[in-house]
Amino acid sequence: MALFRRRRKSAEGSLDRAADNADVKHLEEFARSRRGVEAFVEPPTTMTATTVVFVAHDGEWTRRRVRDAAAAHALARKLAIPAYDAQVVGYPQRMREWNRKNGNRGV
49-80 per-position pLDDT tens digit:
999 999 999 999 999 999 999 999 999 999 99
Per residue in 11-39, pLDDT (tens digit) is 444 456 778 899 999 999 999 999 999 99
For residue 47, the enclosing domain spans 37-106
- Position 100 in a domain: yes
Distance of CA 29 to the CA centre of its chain: 14
Average pLDDT, the chain: 87
Per residue in 85-98, pLDDT (tens digit) is 999 999 999 999 99
| pLDDT more than 70, % of the chain | 81
> What is the DSSP track for 41-65?
EE---SSS--EEEEE-TTS-EEEEE
At 42 the pLDDT is: 97
- Position 42 in a domain: yes
- Work out how many domains the chain is built from and give that number: 1
